Structure 1
Amino acid sequence: MEFDAVLLPPRRAESIAKGYWHERTINDDLDACVAACPDKLALTALRLETGEVRRFTYRELAVLADRIAVGLARLGVGRNDVVAMQLPNWWQFSLLYLACSRIGAVLNPLMHIFRERELSFMLRHSEAKVLIVPKSFRGFDHETMARTLQADLPSLQRIVVVDGVGPDAFDALLTTPEWENDPDTTAILTRDRPGPDDITQLIYTSGTTGEPKGVMHSSNTLMANIVAYAQRLHLGQNDVILMASPMAHQTGFMYGLMMPVMLRAGVVLQDIWEPKKAIDVIRAEGVSFTMASTPFLTDLTKHVEASGSAVPSLRTFLCAGAPIPGPLVEQARRVLGSKIVSAWGMTENGAVTLIQFDDDDRLAFTTDGCPLPGVELKIIEADGEPAPAGQVGRLVVRSCSNFGGYLKRPQWNGTDAEGWFDTGDLASMDANGYIRISGRNKDVIIRGGENIPVFEIEALLYKHPAVAQVAIVAYADTRLGERACAVVVPKPGHGLNFAEMVDFLKAQKVAVQYIPERLVVRDAMPATPSGKIQKFRLREMLQDGTL
């Protein structure tokens, strides 16, 4: 695979000169952990369905990472080959990234909610050579789905199955054979180690283009963000991080997988979100930091208050993905005793803005924070000129952690010659440099931290024989932030009900979380004189109850 990361070279010299790019990879940090604290508990992984708890010291992480790396090489994986992985927050997820980094392979994490439609595109576009899946998770047969897809994916040479049996089992291929004792192991583990500018992660994000976009990141771009993030939050080697947000999202990957190793800290992975279990974990493991979307904070606060089980070690809860309601911040501060930090970011950049650790609590629900070191922001008007303080405009970012570009789609990179990236978001900035996201000029709905690809779902619904017009818009939800509503104008003589819509989309093999949770059927759409549907009017009508 050739990675067209055209956004990296133009800013390399300046990023290094200013100290934002650290010229390291995760290999350097894991090796440093082994040298400095080999017997420190590094990773604890919990599987709620089976009750399994697996723990690793840093020494054990390194040994197993090397073993899996050689095992992958035995499967034909080499430098710049894409290893795709559709796993929950299991220990295998972390180890696979560390292993890929040993041999210069690129990890492509895929959300476990994806089904045939999403996966077939991503696996073909990335030219993934190996796909690693669970045999099953939460009642779904991932192995059968993967094998069904493989026939139409010429690049996909091997499927590896966690909890599998037979020749494709994860343990049989990667963790049981003591590959590290083979005579060619040293050569395999050293000849293709990636540099800090090589692509190390390929992660897909939904947008308005009609297809997912493959975001390319290097060690330099990822680590530039993580270093500044940890410093802003006063995180260090004595912290224990709980990661229950999906590791196939940038949140889990950067701050639940990479950051603990970089800090020489400990991390606890929880694969299924259950607030009662999270309380037990925080208390038993001494968790001091976690990051998740607003529903997680709501659930944790409610259950701590109801149970009376305090979580005194939890110093900080960073909340992103949707605005945090003011009453929730006040309740969480009182019930959890934790600092509630608001933040805003993107797959393309990681976290961009956070409130300061010592800021007044009010800023957590009135702003989305101020830029991290190495990040510049501008709010601009339609003509490109800066907007006055407090006025809403387009948010553009110039950041040391900006991605390398979209795989095979440089025309979508959205970054000008001066390095300004168009986020697609609308925001305002106050006199102190704190921003408030106020909407999006791109057509995306964020449901519980998960982007819903509106364009793609609309395109599918247009294929339904009863649909003449369709528009999918967001409506507010107290727990998830937003949910999706499909507004449909049926063809003459046809009708459509909610169950029919759901069944149709399920038949298209769409992830369940992407299916609209409400349907409104109308005789006509609000439209401009040219006939363009006015989605803002539909949102207003949903809000005021007239739709």
Structure 2
Amino acid sequence: MGKECQPEKEPLFLDHLKKVDPGKAAIVDLSLSAPIELNYGQLENLANRTAQGLIEKGIKPGEFVAYMMPNSWEFVVVTLAIWKIGAAACPILPTLRDREVSFIMEKSRSKMLIVPKEFNHYQYKAMADRIKLNLIDLESIVVIKSRDPFDIEHCLGGLAQNEPDLEEVNGRSPTTLTDAQLLFTSGTTGEPKGVIHTHGTLSYAVHAHTKTLGLTGRDAIWVPSPLAHQTGFLYGMIVALSLGAKQVLEAKWDVETARRAIEDYGSTFVQAATPFLADISREPNPPIGLKIFVATGASVPRRLAHDATSALGCKVVGGWGSTETCLVSVGSPFSNDEKEWGTDGQVIEGMEMKITDNEGNEVTPGREGMYRVKTPATFTTYLGHHDWYGDVIDENGFFITGDLATIDKDGYLSITGRVKDIINRGGEKIPVVDIENILYMHENIKDVAIVGMPDERLGERICAYVSLKVPQAFSLEDLTSFLESRNTAKIYWPEHLELIDELPRTVTGKVQKYILRQMIADKLQIKS
């Protein structure tokens, strides 16, 4: 479903920046007690100086440059500098540690690693020194100590040179086919995969997104999602840069910092995961000022989306995307149809999506099946494993997402689960997402995840992990009675309840169900 993919030649991010008024606000960094603010002229100057520093460190076009830092002005400057010299960005989540960082550094063969000296009480220089011993390609570690962008001598760990050679920098400018980004997937089911995007694929994704949502340079983009993940990187930082808009960066999640971003600095747009939406909308005095909240990265409980729309006074819409394909569907902020927040939206113009059976045949509207997408924003390969790329791109060029979904007669997408998350209870397939959405309506439930637990007779039974809004007595009978009151078929009722303080999630908000499945399997093994 959707128009046939026809790539357009969109201006690259660096070309957009040349047209922005240098005096216009570019960055508000809220990572320190006193905000750091940069305009576009200052951002361009810092990026050029840092690009020169990369050249002098021996970074060549086409190489991956690794950097590990929180949402900050430094992250934006380093990304632009890498691109200016034709190299590719390899951002690493600051929550990762020795093992994961070593893996990414080894695979990317980056000659450089840029880190803060310390962030969130963790010493990054010490970690970098430890892993360097086993990385034959790593030549230099740049440690950021001074956070002052106007500290010429110590800025960006001394990487930002005083006088850039603009002729040399500009001579390395990338094209649409130049690799721009290397991001590693979370690796929840196996070895993390290195996803490679070009300037062309990312430019297309951003242009299609901003056009669909009607975003302009007059908007201010709030970025609480990690910049080292596609949600923050592309739909926060790059959206802002491509529009010539202001971006407001939040490094450590805090509701009051979010309030400053929205109310004090005029943020109008954000794309982020469910926990961010839940936290600000459930405040007794929710921050007001946002116009659009695109909730992605995890299934959004329909009750939460409905309540948040009222609490925040903004449009809350759903959407679906992946590291490999970028965003493919999104709800419209210009419609009052409940489907805009009650589904994962409609296909973005220029992209395609369809639901198929296991053999790849497209099914009728409303029927559940395998979700496949096709877009000019699709990644080009997995680093070092082009065979994996062939496994997920079908003969018609569609990316096999691994999600189960439906598309209704009006073209609205609803993700119903993951292929690997299916609970098969004695041959009966359990509609996991539907049950979770019903349980989210319970007045005492804050969070819920349904997973399969091993059973000798049925293969699997249904286990509910529940986080409560307020600690209190809560039983399986409370859960099933509620489902009965909602006329839910008994075969879909959970047969076991586990109370948990917080569900394990990735940094982008996805519930790590594999952890929950292992937890209940281990518990049952102990009991047996």
State the TM-score bracket (shorter-chain normalisation).
0.7 to 0.9
Alignment partners' CA distance in 1, 2:159 and 2:513: 34
The yes-or-no answer on 1:519 pairing with 2:506 is no
Equivalent residue in structure 1 for 2:162, among 172, 178, 199: 178
The one-letter code matched in structure 2 to 1:434 is: Y
The yes-or-no answer on 1:137 pairing with 2:119 is yes
Query: Shift in Å at residue 329 of structure 1?
Result: 2.1
Query: Shift in Å at residue 124 of structure 1?
Result: 0.3
Equivalent residue for 1:288?
Answer: 268
Equivalent residue for 2:206?
Answer: 226
Equivalent residue for 2:224?
Answer: 244
Query: Shift in Å at residue 173 of structure 1?
Result: 2.1
Equivalent residue for 2:417?
Answer: 439
Equivalent residue for 2:30?
Answer: 46
Query: Shift in Å at residue 207 of structure 1?
Result: 4.1
3-state secondary structure, aligned to 1:298: helix
Q: Confirm or deny: 8 A CA contact 1:109 1:202 kept in the other structure.
A: yes
Equivalent residue for 2:393?
Answer: 415
The one-letter code matched in structure 1 to 2:18 is: D
3-state secondary structure, aligned to 1:32: coil
Equivalent residue for 2:472?
Answer: none
Residues 1:514 and 1:211: Cα distance change in structure 2 (over 3 Å)? farther
Equivalent residue in structure 2 for 1:319, among 285, 295, 298: 295
Equivalent residue in structure 1 for 2:378, among 387, 402, 426: 402
The CA deviation string for residues 268-294 of structure 1, in whole angstroms up to 9 with x for no partner, is 001011012211221111111111111
Query: Shift in Å at residue 434 of structure 1?
Result: 1.1
Residues 1:209 and 1:172: Cα distance change in structure 2 (over 3 Å)? closer
Aligned residues: 439
Equivalent residue in structure 1 for 2:253, among 273, 288, 303: 273
Alignment partners' CA distance in 2, 1:443 and 1:132: 37
The one-letter code matched in structure 2 to 1:400 is: P
The yes-or-no answer on 1:156 pairing with 2:138 is yes
Q: Confirm or deny: 8 A CA contact 2:74 2:156 kept in the other structure.
A: no
Alignment partners' CA distance in 1, 2:224 and 2:515: 25
Alignment partners' CA distance in 1, 2:29 and 2:218: 18
Alignment partners' CA distance in 1, 2:251 and 2:162: 28
Query: Shift in Å at residue 210 of structure 1?
Result: 1.9
Q: Confirm or deny: 8 A CA contact 2:62 2:87 kept in the other structure.
A: yes
3-state secondary structure, aligned to 2:175: coil
Residues 1:330 and 1:522: Cα distance change in structure 2 (over 3 Å)? closer
Q: Confirm or deny: 8 A CA contact 2:43 2:77 kept in the other structure.
A: yes
Q: Confirm or deny: 8 A CA contact 1:428 1:437 kept in the other structure.
A: yes
The CA deviation string for residues 332-384 of structure 1, in whole angstroms up to 9 with x for no partner, is 12221000011110001111110122233521443111111121111110122
Residues 1:314 and 1:60: Cα distance change in structure 2 (over 3 Å)? same
Q: Confirm or deny: 8 A CA contact 1:394 1:424 kept in the other structure.
A: yes
Alignment partners' CA distance in 1, 2:355 and 2:261: 41
Equivalent residue for 2:81?
Answer: 99
Alignment partners' CA distance in 2, 1:95 and 1:211: 30
Q: Confirm or deny: 8 A CA contact 2:305 2:342 kept in the other structure.
A: no
Query: Shift in Å at residue 443 of structure 1?
Result: 6.5
3-state secondary structure, aligned to 1:64: helix
The yes-or-no answer on 1:31 pairing with 2:11 is no
3-state secondary structure, aligned to 1:519: helix
Equivalent residue in structure 2 for 1:124, among 94, 106, 113: 106
Residues 1:154 and 1:169: Cα distance change in structure 2 (over 3 Å)? farther
Residues 1:208 and 1:301: Cα distance change in structure 2 (over 3 Å)? closer
Q: Confirm or deny: 8 A CA contact 1:294 1:479 kept in the other structure.
A: no
Equivalent residue for 1:508?
Answer: none
Equivalent residue for 1:488?
Answer: none
Equivalent residue for 2:193?
Answer: 213
3-state secondary structure, aligned to 2:359: coil
Bigger mean CA offset, 320-329 vs 52-61? 320-329
Q: Confirm or deny: 8 A CA contact 2:48 2:166 kept in the other structure.
A: no
Residues 1:317 and 1:105: Cα distance change in structure 2 (over 3 Å)? same
Q: Confirm or deny: 8 A CA contact 2:30 2:257 kept in the other structure.
A: no
Q: Confirm or deny: 8 A CA contact 1:207 1:443 kept in the other structure.
A: no
3-state secondary structure, aligned to 1:329: helix
Equivalent residue for 1:428?
Answer: 406
Query: Shift in Å at residue 191 of structure 1?
Result: 2.3
Query: Shift in Å at residue 220 of structure 1?
Result: 1.0
Tell me the C-alpha RMSD between the 2 structures: 2.9
Residues 1:102 and 1:343: Cα distance change in structure 2 (over 3 Å)? same
The yes-or-no answer on 1:338 pairing with 2:314 is yes
Alignment partners' CA distance in 2, 1:478 and 1:316: 28
Equivalent residue for 2:506?
Answer: none
The yes-or-no answer on 1:384 pairing with 2:360 is yes
Q: Confirm or deny: 8 A CA contact 2:230 2:323 kept in the other structure.
A: yes
The one-letter code matched in structure 2 to 1:171 is: L
Q: Confirm or deny: 8 A CA contact 1:78 1:103 kept in the other structure.
A: yes
3-state secondary structure, aligned to 1:394: strand
Residues 1:418 and 1:117: Cα distance change in structure 2 (over 3 Å)? same
Alignment partners' CA distance in 2, 1:128 and 1:147: 15
Query: Shift in Å at residue 322 of structure 1?
Result: 2.1
